[in-house]
């Protein structure tokens, strides 16, 4: 019988050249743990371990063999609902380019057009509530396509905490409030702290974690292309700054592992979101209710390295909104995103007329346009109240309206009702604020002039943003946002005169 401390000392004697590393490991173990008595069974020492795999219990690596598609050991609920099962034929929502454009143009500074908030617990862990809800939902959407870290986290909830992960997210959806048990949040914080970087190691072979410790700052520089250390040493100021930054992030995560109140020092940080995305390979799209003063944008988008074009072809995406002190989970009906999640959780889908496919919308729009055209023509003959447009300008005006995304019949009807292409354009946008098919197109600058900014402020801003994005395809988001802000200020100043 030996204590943990005695066993560590015995290993150190067998590997004297590793005394310093073992002492570091020992310093991270709680004194109560060191004093625990254990049974010594077949303890073998290795004279020269190369630290290819850390023996530390505080590190998490992907399993050598991926787990089976269906997690084991999940308890069924009292209602005998098969929460442990993964529904077949489930997959993530692959947003089309048109819907990605809608997401990019949407904003919470005013009122979001495409997203709805789901109340999220305000216990100080709101960001973690949203992220964990999204990750668990992602697992039940992606199944065995989930990465090994996500599979391991789900297993931990089932086996270590003995809580049914699917039941957590299902109940949250049913009560329309995101509230993850504190035990799960605490375990998640510790879980992400324990994940090692799959590429980098310390020069002496010790592991470096995704969220680096204060003592995991190499004194020599790292060559990212060759993935190896160089001989050049890191400047002393930078070395100390890196140590300070590492400690700040580590303490932010670790300090929130408690059952008492969570203060602002332990709220979810942007750097932590980026690390979570790297670990689990799931994109997180965060709207802001304000404009970031540095990047001049109202969005923070974190995507895994595999995603080369933002959220396009990037797998499941978690959506949140941050007001500066509180994160709220989001849902959207774009491309049936929300109902797809509900379906994969085994829940009833929500009735949503606007979730019809764009093809069906276009077909219905054309049918309605034809009917309206016939009715309008009939009424104009009987009552002679419609204003007929000048024949010389009819064709060009019809083409202008068709460029806005409507059928020829619809364009004719609008011109017959208004007699003016600008009035027709205003009527089109006023009556189609809830239509997805009209707003899919990107207007030209001349088309945009047909809109009355004072009457269609929100639509004008959205279309302007799309035009700027089209004109500046290679510019970063904050540059486009800056150009947009300047243009809006210019337009507003004209209307104030």
pLDDT tens-place string over residues 148-189: 999 999 999 999 999 999 999 999 999 999 999 999 999 999
DSSP of 223-246, one letter per residue? ETTTTEEEEEEPPHHHHHHHHHHH
Which residues on neighbouring strands pair with residue 207, listed in sequence order?
A: 201
Planar angle of CA 175, 179, 181, nearest 5 degrees = 125
pLDDT at 491: 78
Mean pLDDT is highest, among 119-128, 354-363, 445-454, for 119-128
* CA–CA gap between residue 398 and residue 391 (Å, rounded): 11
pTM for the whole structure: 0.58
Instruction: Give pLDDT, residue 41.
Output: 52
- Report the mean per-residue pLDDT for the chain: 77
**SS3 state at 491:** helix
Asked whether residue 202 carries a pLDDT value surpassing 70, the answer given is yes
pLDDT-above-90 percentage for the chain: 42
Task: Inform me whether the pLDDT recorded for 272 exceeds 60.
Answer: yes
**d(C-alpha 202, C-alpha 280), whole Å:** 23
Residue 269 has pLDDT above 80, yes or no: yes
d(C-alpha 29, C-alpha 300), whole Å: 37
The region of weakest confidence among 27-36, 75-84, 452-461, 468-477 is: 75-84
Task: Name residue, tokens 């510019």.
Answer: 475
Residue 400 has pLDDT above 60, yes or no: yes
Domain ranges, ordered by start, for the chain:
2-38, 97-193+260-354, 208-254, 356-364+387-496
**Using CA atoms, how far apart are residues 234 and 429, in angstroms rounded to an integer?**
58
**What is the per-residue pLDDT for 309?**
86
More confident residue, 231 or 64: 231
Higher pLDDT, 225 or 302: 302
438-453 average pLDDT score: 61
Q: Is the pLDDT of residue 338 over 80?
A: yes
Confidence of residue 51 (pLDDT cuts 50, 70, 90): very low
Q: What per-residue confidence (pLDDT) applies to 176?
A: 95
Q: Give me the pLDDT at residue 226, please.
A: 84
Taking residues 458-487, what's their average pLDDT? 74
**CATH of region 97-193+260-354:** 3.90.70
């Amino acid at each position: 019988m030996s204590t943990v401390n005695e066993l560590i000392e015995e290993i150190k004697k067998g590997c004297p050249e590793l005394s310093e590393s073992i002492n570091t490991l020992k310093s991270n173990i709680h004194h109560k743990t060191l004093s625990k008595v254990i049974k010594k069974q077949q303890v073998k020492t290795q004279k020269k371990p190369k630290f290819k795999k850390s023996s530390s219990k505080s590190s998490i690596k992907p399993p050598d063999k991926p787990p089976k598609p269906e997690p084991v050991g999940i308890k069924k609920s009292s209602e005998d609902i098969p929460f442990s099962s993964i529904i077949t034929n489930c997959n993530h929502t692959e947003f089309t380019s048109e819907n990605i454009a809608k997401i990019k143009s949407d904003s919470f500074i005013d009122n979001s057009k495409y997203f709805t908030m789901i109340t999220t617990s305000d216990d100080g862990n709101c960001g973690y509530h949203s992220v964990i809800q999204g990750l668990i939902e992602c697992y039940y959407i992606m199944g065995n396509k989930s990465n090994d870290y996500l599979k391991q986290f789900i297993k931990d909830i089932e086996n270590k905490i003995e809580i049914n992960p699917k039941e957590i997210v299902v109940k949250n959806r049913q009560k329309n409030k995101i509230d993850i048990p504190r035990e799960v949040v605490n375990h998640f914080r510790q879980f992400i702290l324990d994940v090692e970087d799959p590429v980098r190691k310390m020069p002496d072979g010790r592991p470096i974690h995704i969220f680096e410790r204060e003592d995991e700052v190499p004194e020599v520089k790292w060559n990212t292309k060759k993935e190896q250390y160089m001989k050049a040493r890191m400047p002393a100021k930078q070395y100390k700054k890196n140590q300070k930054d590492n400690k700040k992030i580590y303490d932010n995560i670790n300090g929130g592992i408690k059952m008492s109140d969570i203060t602002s020092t332990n709220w979810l940080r942007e750097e932590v979101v980026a690390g979570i995305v790297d670990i689990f390979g799931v994109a997180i799209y965060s709207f802001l209710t304000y404009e970031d003063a540095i990047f001049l944008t109202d969005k923070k988008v974190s995507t895994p390295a595999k995603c080369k074009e933002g959220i396009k072809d990037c797998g499941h995406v978690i959506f949140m909104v941050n007001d500066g002190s509180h994160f709220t989970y989001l849902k959207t009906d774009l491309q049936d995103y929300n109902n797809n999640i509900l379906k994969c959780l085994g829940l009833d889908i929500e009735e949503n007329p606007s979730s019809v496919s764009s093809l069906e919308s276009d077909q219905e729009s054309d049918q309605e346009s034809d009917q309206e055209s016939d009715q309008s023509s009939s009424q104009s003959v009987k009552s002679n109240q419609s204003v007929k447009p000048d024949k010389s300008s009819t064709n060009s005006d019809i083409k202008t309206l068709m460029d806005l995304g409507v059928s020829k019949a619809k364009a004719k009807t609008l011109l017959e009702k208004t007699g003016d292409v600008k009035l027709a354009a205003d009527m089109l946008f006023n009556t189609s604020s809830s239509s997805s098919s009209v707003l899919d197109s990107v207007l030209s600058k001349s088309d945009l002039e047909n809109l009355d900014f004072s009457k269609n402020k929100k639509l004008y801003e959205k279309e302007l943003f799309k035009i700027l994005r089209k004109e500046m395809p290679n510019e970063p988001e904050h540059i486009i946002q800056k150009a947009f802000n300047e243009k809006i200020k210019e337009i507003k100043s004209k209307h104030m005169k």
